[in-house]
Structure 1
Amino acid sequence: MLKEDFSLDRALKNEKIITDFLVVGGGMSGICAAIAAARMGLKVILIQDRPVLGGNASSEVRLWILGATSHMGNNNRWAREGGIIDELLVENLYRNKEGNPLIFDTILLEKVYQEENITLLLNTAAFEVSKNDQNNISSVKAFCSQNSTMYTISSPLFCDASGDGVLGFLAGASFRMGAETKDEFGEGFAPDVKDYGELLGHSIYFYTKDTGLPVKYVAPAFAKKEVGSLPRIKNYKLKEYGCRLWWVEYGGRLDTIHESENIKLELWKVIYGLWDHVKNSGDFPEAENLTLEWVGTIPGKRESRRFEGDYMMVQQDIVEQRQHEDAIAFGGWAMDLHPADGVYSDKSGCTQWHAKGVYQIPYRCFYSKDIDNLFLAGRIISVSHVAFSSTRVMATCAMGGQAVGVAASLAKKSGLKPRDLSTGENLKKLQLELNKMGQSIPFIPLIDEKNLLQSAHIKASSEQRIQQLPDNGNWLTLDFSAAQMLPFKRKENYNISFKVKAEVATSLQFEFRTSSKTQNYTPDVILEKQAIALKAGEQIIHISLKKSLNEDQYAFLTFLKNDDVSIKCSETKISGVIAVLNKTNKAVSNYGRQDPPANIGVDSFEFWTPYRRPQGQNFAFQISPAITCFEVENLNNGYLRPYNSPNAWVANTNDKNPTVQINWDNEVTINEIVLMFDTDQDHALESSLYGHPEDVLPFCIRDFELKSDQSTVVYSVKGNFQTINKIKLTAPLRTKELILEMKNPSENVPAAIFQILIY
């Protein structure tokens, strides 16, 4: 029993902590920053003011994680973000392909709790900053409402991943809130703030459940009346729930920080009024057995403060795909602005304009220009309002968070400040360490002199040579124009045969296309056209290409829309080979092509996107000369995914025992081996609601063994599903040979590896 007499001198429990790195904010960017720093040896405190991790991806909000893949609805092939966010999403796929947000909560918590170097403080809000001088933070005060404890946390380095930028604000860092004018940065997409508003609003989602029996509904008194007359709600469909209700948005004309509770209440009024309309208006008789299963209690917030770094990204960085020496991440979501009036607006719920490919994000956006020891992560980084509309999505933010975590580790170990890593050898070390984690920074390959593979002789049991893909798949009717993407060699003239089926005699239009930028997958250059006369029935067509490419690059063998024609497909899947269609995906403003107004600084082009599995298949074809870009030397080229070439070693389809043999002239000492497999970076792994057809990505090598020169098994795995396998040996291995033996992922999918690192 505790009994205490009256006192005028009481204080909350105050715990003082000294750490290497303090991260405020447990959304996806803060999680990835904390894990990255912890894995590189820093002691990390991660503060989250909610009871779970994940921010907008958590079960409290339930937004799916997306980034450059954009639901596979744009031209950014193989663009899923790499490293820790990839690890989390692939893990979630394996355990939770249905997309239950409660399960995703547990995966995030498990990953953080497994890191011995991370101390997680949930339900803990930072509220005060102390400084050594005007440019350096010394400590942060935070309060946990659940254990009634005040924390004072001292650290040499801080990361603000709080969403609203609480650390940066309290520390006095320069920030912006709202939209820049067109004139400030020459951004054609900058909104008319009077008409469109300056800020994106909040959204709250709900889930419904069929009980099997009639359910009545009595709306609370605060529910909005006659909500069914609102323009967006007129089009509401019962199948829309969860984050498909992103358009239930409000607050862009208010202070999205200090009026956030008012915004939440207004959204509740709309949602409960909407449900009253569904249940009691008579317009939805099919809703008789439905009940509200869940309504969000905190809103998903899109925008508030953006802090100024040494560089501010703008629209032109995205559209022109500008290259930056200090690139440390990439983006690819559309520039996506929403009218500030949200659900009350008569405008479209969003205006999205895509770039032709992914773009680099420079490191200088990830630290404050004023506060010397403050990193920025998440949606608050140094970008204009227009650029923010693309960089704000969670997978992009997570990749930036990983970069911050690695930068913090390098800075702490060398006594540096964030800015010190923006140039020279420090920057190169940062980029190298990020790529070793799987970051895949565009145009910056992973070249590490310490990698023992650099001095080795490598050979494989076989190498893929594509002479044909067998015609064992479905027939694809040309309801849309369709193309087989293939990695062509420069200055080669190819001859290709396809099997087609015509319902009637017709003419099939063929186009040989490529991209104006070698790294892109937007087929905006037509090299030649042919009209092919077809008779009714099945037949083989032969195409001899007169033109060739100037660089090694992906080509598009394109057949234009013809409802009377079908192309035979193949069940064979090969890493870096995919078929695409000029189809639509209205969810991401893909209507087959993009035709913006002339004055907004955005390109016009067509969208060519794949079907999602299980539907998508390659075309069946024969080709001469064979496609020969899957050689074993790719294991050492530094690229972790396809760019203008597949960049993977791929075994021959008929090789039943694929093997990679690595030899050195002299004995080497091995402590660690890193294998980077193919988990189909083209597939968008939405974390919740969406659902996926498989729990393991079909290109991934599941079973493998590593052997030394004495044929001794060094390491063995069965049932792998992750992209990166980092193998730390229990004792140093002295050897002149390392053999990797593996099984093909399946009968129709040959083994593939992007990179091997040996230390």
Structure 2
Amino acid sequence: MITTPFSSTSRLNKEIVINTDLVIAGGGLAGVCAAITAARAGSRVVLVQDRPVLGGNASSEVRLWALGATSHMGNNNRWSREGGVIDEIMLDNLKQNQLGNALIFDSILLNKVAAEANITLLLNTAVFQVNKTLATNIDSVLAFCSQNSTQYHINAPLFCDASGDGILAFNAGASFRMGAESCDEFGELMAPKNESTDLLGHSLFFYSKKLDRPVVFTKPDFAYSHEEIAAIPRCKNINGNDSGCKFWWLEFGGVLDTIYQSEDIKWELWKIVYGIWDYIKNSGKFEDVENLTLEWVGTIPGKRESRRFEGHYMLKQQDIVTQHIFDDAVSYGGWAIDLHPAEGIYSDEPACSQFHSKGVYQIPYRCFVSRDIDNLFLAGRIISASHMAFGSTRVMITCAHGGQAVGEAAAFCRELNCKPAALLVPKHMRELQQRLNLNGQSIPLIPISPSLLMQKAKIKVSSTFELNDLRPNGEFKTLDQSLAQLLPLNAGPVPKISVDVRAQTESILICELRISSKTGNYTPDILVERIELPLTPGEQNIDIEFTAELSQQQYGFLCFMRNDTLSLALSDQRITGLCTLLNKVHKAVSNTGRQDPPENSGLDAFEFWTPERRPNGHNLALRLSPALKPYSAEHLRGGFTRPYLGTNAWAAKLDDKNPKIELSWPDNVKISELKLFFDTDADHALETVLMEHPETQMPFCVQTIRVLNAHGEELYACAGNYQSIKVIHFNPPLLSNCLNIEFSHTEAGAPANLFAIEVL
């Protein structure tokens, strides 16, 4: 029994003092990826999260699907899914959570963080005070956990604010902005003429479920009436069959203070959501709703915008549109510049305006470092970006990818005993970029520099796939939309291409060879040559011979223009670095087949050519003469871990019964680590919730791996790989002049393949 006498003075809460290397405020995807990355690199991390679960807007508390550059596969950013820790998390989620259950995604994030011995996770704990002895340096933070009545005093040399509203950076005194800059400040032509306090609002989601019996719903008194709901402009979009984040447009709060009035905004959204559900169930205007029940309503709105903090550089609209190249690039984005009217659901304007660039864009390290506080990193949606650029950088997977850059940088600063800005010198920046890319970051235009061991290795492979014949599967695709086959072409003549065509009537097949105006992009905006081929009714084989020659290696678009009377033969073969695209509409990302922005907006007009999701999206059945040879073993030390200009992959022949790579050296070398980079189809979006996926792992990824020494002795074996990177440690280090790496083939029709090898 505990008996405590009266105290005439106020009691203090229990206090725990923690000394660590890095404090991260905020356990959304940015904070999670920063923490895991720093911890794996040897830093002790305290991750402070003010909610009971991790994930922020991606958690079960909010249930927004997490996305980034792939943009629901609705833009021209091929093979753009973010790599590194967030890729690892998303592939785990695909494997374990194919149906997109938000609770399971919670558990995956918690499991990832709990697995790191260097992370101290404080849930239900909010940072509320920053302590400084110098104006530009944070000494410690205070945080309070409401569940255990404990106050934490956390000391560290480095801090990261990934809290969304920037509570740590705000309390530290860092400069910030809220609202939109005028077009004159940065020359952003899409920005408003005058600066504005308008913001993007909050959204609150709900889930419904159909039962096998009627369900009655009685609305709470605080909910809006049928008449009030019907009068809200955007409620004309209500579809009784929608659920979850398909109601992303239930948005409010952009005309208010999205920090200090956040609770008021939530109550307004509750009034709307419960009123909408009552309207769906009881207004009589929707069919087949009798058996629908309200399964879940969010208790925390998904917040889009509040503070943005000023770093050593502020990303702008032009950087996104022109895909500006930065010496200190550490991350990238690819979501559209996606802005919403501040009035949200009460606006007569469209729910959003999304304007895409022609490809992905780099984000520089300087955007992640506070310009005012010497030991403060910024991560997530608060990074240094203008309001216009924020419209793209704010989405969760982009935030997560930037979080990995922060975590790696923090660990590097610990090793060098320096402040974040010190990494901006070229030598340190190159090292940071290399460390990030070795862990899967795939910073655009920056390849991995192969180690000395890999540079000196002789590479011998059991076979090499040549692209000369994609076998037909008996199915045909009607050209009710223009269709393109992406092909990795060399400089010089284009091979002769043969396709099988079915024509309902006498017709003309129009075939165009296109390339991108910016090498490395996947927007087919330059017409190289156009051929018109007359067809007779029935099935026939057609030869396509272009006379034009390409000036450099790049992807070409073999475009077959729309003709409803024609269809093309398909193949079941799934080959690394190949895909088909359609010039199609994708309303979820404001894609109507092309982008036609307002005049003088600084944005580009172009067509969208986007893939279909599996199980659709087959390659065309093709025959090429001479064969393309885009799968050289030399790619294994080329440094790129996804297609760029070419496939950047080695692939074995399909009839190779034992695909194998041999690395050899003239003399014994000391090997401590072998790192393999697999193809997990970075073109495929992996939405975390609501969207179901057709598979639990990517069909291109090699699952079975064996590593043997020169004497055929097995050093490592794995039978269930589904991740992009496999790291094999040799402890103690291996002394050998040879390594043999054996694979199985992947799924039927997909050859064994690998992007890169690193030997350390």
TM-score by length of 2: 0.99
Counterpart of 1:697 in 2: which secondary structure? coil
Please say which of residues 468-477 and 165-174 is displaced more in the overlay: 468-477
In 2, the alpha carbon distance for the partners of 1:229 and 1:565 equals 47
Task: Describe the superposition over 1:353-375 as per-residue Cα deviations: whole angstroms up to 9, x where unpaired.
Answer: 00000000000000100000000
Shift, 1:286, TM fit: 1.2
Task: Describe the superposition over 1:68-106 as per-residue Cα deviations: whole angstroms up to 9, x where unpaired.
Answer: 000000000000000000000000000001000000000
Task: Describe the superposition over 1:421-473 as per-residue Cα deviations: whole angstroms up to 9, x where unpaired.
Answer: 122111111000000010001111100435x2111000111111111101125
Q: Which residue of 2 aligns with 1:700?
A: 701
In 2, the alpha carbon distance for the partners of 1:193 and 1:27 equals 33
In 2, the alpha carbon distance for the partners of 1:655 and 1:228 equals 64
The answer as to 2:278 corresponding to 1:281 is no
In 2, the alpha carbon distance for the partners of 1:239 and 1:455 equals 60
The answer as to 2:678 corresponding to 1:661 is no
Please say which of residues 296-305 and 184-193 is displaced more in the overlay: 184-193
Shift, 1:299, TM fit: 0.4
Counterpart of 1:136 in 2: which secondary structure? coil
Q: Quick one: which of 391, 394, 402 aligns to 1:392? A: 394
Matched letter for residue 162 of structure 2: A
Q: Which residue of 2 aligns with 1:411?
A: 413
Q: Quick one: which of 369, 376, 379 aligns to 2:378? A: 376
Q: Which residue of 2 aligns with 1:610?
A: 611
Counterpart of 2:739 in 1: which secondary structure? strand
Task: Describe the superposition over 1:290-334 as per-residue Cα deviations: whole angstroms up to 9, x where unpaired.
Answer: 111000000000000000011000000000011000000110000
Gaps of 5+ in 1: none
Q: Which residue of 2 aligns with 1:72?
A: 73
Task: Describe the superposition over 1:149-177 as per-residue Cα deviations: whole angstroms up to 9, x where unpaired.
Answer: 00000000000000000111111111100
Q: Which residue of 2 aligns with 1:434?
A: 436
In 1, the alpha carbon distance for the partners of 2:423 and 2:169 equals 20
In 1, the alpha carbon distance for the partners of 2:237 and 2:431 equals 52
In 2, the alpha carbon distance for the partners of 1:584 and 1:651 equals 36
Shift, 1:598, TM fit: 1.2
In 2, the alpha carbon distance for the partners of 1:538 and 1:231 equals 52
In 1, the alpha carbon distance for the partners of 2:36 and 2:410 equals 11
Matched letter for residue 297 of structure 1: T
Matched letter for residue 4 of structure 1: T
Q: Which residue of 2 aligns with 1:140?
A: 141
The answer (yes or no) to whether the contact 1:197–1:340 under 8 Å persists in 2 is no
Q: Which residue of 2 aligns with 1:316?
A: 318
Q: Which residue of 2 aligns with 1:27?
A: 28
After TM superposition, the structure 1 = structure 2 runs for residues 678-693 of structure 1, keeping only pairs within 5 Å, are 678-693=679-694
Please say which of residues 452-461 and 293-302 is displaced more in the overlay: 452-461
Q: Which residue of 1 aligns with 2:717?
A: 716
In 2, the alpha carbon distance for the partners of 1:369 and 1:500 equals 60
The answer (yes or no) to whether the contact 2:467–2:630 under 8 Å persists in 1 is no
Counterpart of 1:88 in 2: which secondary structure? helix
The answer (yes or no) to whether the contact 2:569–2:620 under 8 Å persists in 1 is yes
The answer (yes or no) to whether the contact 2:450–2:638 under 8 Å persists in 1 is no
Counterpart of 1:731 in 2: which secondary structure? strand
Matched letter for residue 100 of structure 1: N
In 1, the alpha carbon distance for the partners of 2:84 and 2:413 equals 20
Counterpart of 2:200 in 1: which secondary structure? coil
Q: Which residue of 2 aligns with 1:424?
A: 426
Shift, 1:239, TM fit: 2.1
In 1, the alpha carbon distance for the partners of 2:599 and 2:496 equals 40
Matched letter for residue 407 of structure 1: A
Distance 1:604 1:22, change over 3 A: same
Matched letter for residue 476 of structure 1: K
The answer (yes or no) to whether the contact 2:451–2:758 under 8 Å persists in 1 is no
Task: Describe the superposition over 1:391-445 as per-residue Cα deviations: whole angstroms up to 9, x where unpaired.
Answer: 0001100010000000000001111111111221111110000000100011111
Q: Which residue of 1 aligns with 2:19?
A: 18
Counterpart of 2:549 in 1: which secondary structure? coil
Matched letter for residue 438 of structure 1: G
Counterpart of 2:614 in 1: which secondary structure? coil
In 2, the alpha carbon distance for the partners of 1:697 and 1:11 equals 54
The answer (yes or no) to whether the contact 2:573–2:749 under 8 Å persists in 1 is yes
Counterpart of 1:667 in 2: which secondary structure? strand
Q: Which residue of 2 aligns with 1:247?
A: 249
Matched letter for residue 619 of structure 1: L
Shift, 1:192, TM fit: 6.0
Counterpart of 1:217 in 2: which secondary structure? coil
Counterpart of 2:513 in 1: which secondary structure? strand
Shift, 1:231, TM fit: 2.3
The answer as to 2:259 corresponding to 1:257 is yes
Q: Which residue of 2 aligns with 1:595?
A: 596
After TM superposition, the structure 1 = structure 2 runs for residues 208-247 of structure 1, keeping only pairs within 5 Å, are 208-225=208-225, 226=227, 227-247=229-249
Shift, 1:492, TM fit: 2.4
Please say which of residues 76-85 and 275-284 is displaced more in the overlay: 275-284
Q: How many residues align?
A: 757
Matched letter for residue 729 of structure 2: K
Q: Which residue of 2 aligns with 1:745?
A: 746
In 2, the alpha carbon distance for the partners of 1:269 and 1:425 equals 56
In 1, the alpha carbon distance for the partners of 2:233 and 2:213 equals 31
In 2, the alpha carbon distance for the partners of 1:571 and 1:656 equals 20
Q: Which residue of 2 aligns with 1:198?
A: 198
Q: Which residue of 1 aligns with 2:345?
A: 343
Q: Which residue of 1 aligns with 2:492?
A: 491
Q: Which residue of 1 aligns with 2:186?
A: 185
In 1, the alpha carbon distance for the partners of 2:357 and 2:475 equals 32
Counterpart of 2:113 in 1: which secondary structure? helix
Counterpart of 2:755 in 1: which secondary structure? strand
The answer (yes or no) to whether the contact 2:184–2:193 under 8 Å persists in 1 is no
In 2, the alpha carbon distance for the partners of 1:654 and 1:583 equals 36
Q: Which residue of 1 aligns with 2:459?
A: 458
After TM superposition, the structure 1 = structure 2 runs for residues 78-117 of structure 1, keeping only pairs within 5 Å, are 78-117=79-118
In 2, the alpha carbon distance for the partners of 1:189 and 1:245 equals 27
The answer as to 2:549 corresponding to 1:541 is no
Shift, 1:211, TM fit: 2.3
Gaps of 5+ in 2: none
The answer (yes or no) to whether the contact 2:18–2:155 under 8 Å persists in 1 is yes
| Deviating 4+ runs (over 6 angstroms) | none
In 1, the alpha carbon distance for the partners of 2:280 and 2:105 equals 30
Q: Which residue of 1 aligns with 2:7?
A: 7
Matched letter for residue 170 of structure 2: F
Task: Describe the superposition over 1:695-752 as per-residue Cα deviations: whole angstroms up to 9, x where unpaired.
Answer: 0110000001000011110000001111111111232211110000110002300011
In 1, the alpha carbon distance for the partners of 2:66 and 2:334 equals 13
Task: Describe the superposition over 1:495-546 as per-residue Cα deviations: whole angstroms up to 9, x where unpaired.
Answer: 1100010111111111110000111000000011111101111000111110
The answer (yes or no) to whether the contact 2:183–2:194 under 8 Å persists in 1 is no
The answer (yes or no) to whether the contact 1:473–1:571 under 8 Å persists in 2 is no
Distance 1:624 1:285, change over 3 A: closer
Counterpart of 1:474 in 2: which secondary structure? strand
Counterpart of 1:531 in 2: which secondary structure? strand
After TM superposition, the structure 1 = structure 2 runs for residues 317-332 of structure 1, keeping only pairs within 5 Å, are 317-332=319-334
The answer (yes or no) to whether the contact 2:493–2:547 under 8 Å persists in 1 is no
In 1, the alpha carbon distance for the partners of 2:379 and 2:255 equals 25
Shift, 1:197, TM fit: 6.7
Matched letter for residue 275 of structure 2: G
Shift, 1:193, TM fit: 6.9
The answer (yes or no) to whether the contact 1:326–1:423 under 8 Å persists in 2 is no
Matched letter for residue 329 of structure 1: S
The answer (yes or no) to whether the contact 2:253–2:343 under 8 Å persists in 1 is yes
After TM superposition, the structure 1 = structure 2 runs for residues 468-479 of structure 1, keeping only pairs within 5 Å, are 468-479=469-480
Matched letter for residue 135 of structure 1: T
Counterpart of 1:386 in 2: which secondary structure? helix
Q: How well do the aligned residues superpose, as a CA RMSD in angstroms?
A: 1.1
Kindly, what percent of the aligned residue pairs are identical? Answer: 55
Q: Quick one: which of 268, 271, 290 aligns to 2:270? A: 268
Counterpart of 1:46 in 2: which secondary structure? strand
The answer (yes or no) to whether the contact 2:502–2:540 under 8 Å persists in 1 is yes
Please say which of residues 220-229 and 77-86 is displaced more in the overlay: 220-229
